[in-house]
Amino acid sequence: MKAWKKKINRIRNSYKNIFKGFYYTLFKYYKIECISKERLKICRTNKCCHYDKHGTSDMAIGNMGKETCAVCGCILKIKTRVMDEHCPLDEIKVEPLWSSVNIEKYDCI
């Protein structure tokens, strides 16, 4: 399947999480910002070799030069703010670097 078709299907299946990500990007919450910073730090280490700083990968269609995950094509500043989301490495049969979080049980330092 072509990259743009795969991305359209992903957007259609996860539009609620995309809207949550946009919402939490506009309206900051301490715990969510704390978790997002930790997740972004993990992604920026490029341990998985799929961190795309300028959004130039095939999966980054329409990301306008934003930091992107080359596996799923998501803009990282939005994806990392959604507590239901997880690192997509499991899609390529690799252990994810971060997982979804129950914000009620999470303790920010």
In a domain, 65, yes or no: yes
In a domain, 61, yes or no: yes
Report percent pLDDT > 70 for the chain: 93
In a domain, 97, yes or no: no
pTM of the model: 0.83
What CA–CA distance (Å, rounded) separates 30 from 46?
25
Out of 47-56, 57-66, 89-98, least confident range = 57-66
For 76-97, the pLDDT digits (tens) are 999 999 999 999 999 899 999 9
In a domain, 109, yes or no: no
Q: For the chain, what is the domain count?
A: 1
- At 17, the pLDDT band (50, 70, 90 cuts) reads confident
Domain assignment of residue 34, given as a range: 3-92
- At 103, the pLDDT band (50, 70, 90 cuts) reads confident
Contact 31, 108 (CB under 8 A): yes
In a domain, 105, yes or no: no
